[in-house]
Amino acid sequence: MRAGVLFSMLLVACVDPGPGVPAPADAGNHASAGLNACASVRGRVTTITAATERLNALPPPVTPACFVASLSRPIELVATTSIFSAQPAASRESPRIFVIVPALVTSVVPEGEGAHLVEFAQWMTPTRTLKAEVELPLLAPLSAEAPYTRVHSNHGVTSCGLCHRAEEPHPTIDGGFISDAFRPDPASLVPISELRAQHAACAEGDESERCALFHALFDFGEVRQGAFSNEVDLFIK
């Protein structure tokens, strides 16, 4: 689980077009009426607490694409073909995608084993994040602690801690754990130009969840190529 270029840059506020005012589309808005409804619930989401509140406020069915459509723009994207995750990439055409906004990284995949999950990493330091996960669509409103307790294991730690080093409890968030962050292997990265091509290939009227996610990413405002700081360790299999 994921940062922008430097921690200080992640704390810069992004432009918020305001509730109910979708930003201009990146390349023509072909999103469904449902996604446009999700995008009308707009505002900054820079913490896991705010993400939980946003998920509870979205119109059902609340899918990963619905949540992504609701994020204020601009956003930055980092995509990887890595399969070494609880949310593995399905292919180069459907990679794991990190959506970066100030102080928070959300990861999603268009299809495959992890497509029903949204993972969150909230930056606590330049190299450590508070981690959480939500399974969608929602069957009931989320409690404040649900994204944290979902990743708990039976051994007093989290499933994230199996890979992410030096895990420790958050000092004030009950059930929250902080651990080292990782950045993807550069050899696994998929440039944003390829993501745009996948978006363009999703014809209007294609109602698959895969295309819904690409529309959610690109149809609601400015999208940029992102990058993780070199301070963050590379993921080691």
Which structural domain range is residue 29 located in?
A: 7-138+159-217
Chain-wide mean pLDDT for the chain? 85
Measured from the Cβ of residue 235, the count of other Cβ atoms closer than 10 Å reads 17
Domain-embedded: residue 222: no
Give the β-pairing of 128-135 and 117-123: antiparallel
Number of domains the chain contains = 1
Q: What is the pLDDT of residue 174?
A: 85
Domain-embedded: residue 232: no
List CB contacts of 109: < 8 A, sequence separation 6 or more: 87, 88, 89, 90, 94, 95, 96, 97, 115, 117
CA distance linking residue 131 with residue 136, whole number of Å: 17
Residue 186: helix, strand or coil by DSSP?
A: helix
With a cut of 50, say whether residue 19 has pLDDT above it. no
Give the β-pairing of 223-225 and 75-80: parallel
Domain-embedded: residue 54: yes
With a cut of 60, say whether residue 57 has pLDDT above it. yes
Q: Which H or E run includes 179? A: strand 177-180
Q: What is the pLDDT of residue 159?
A: 61
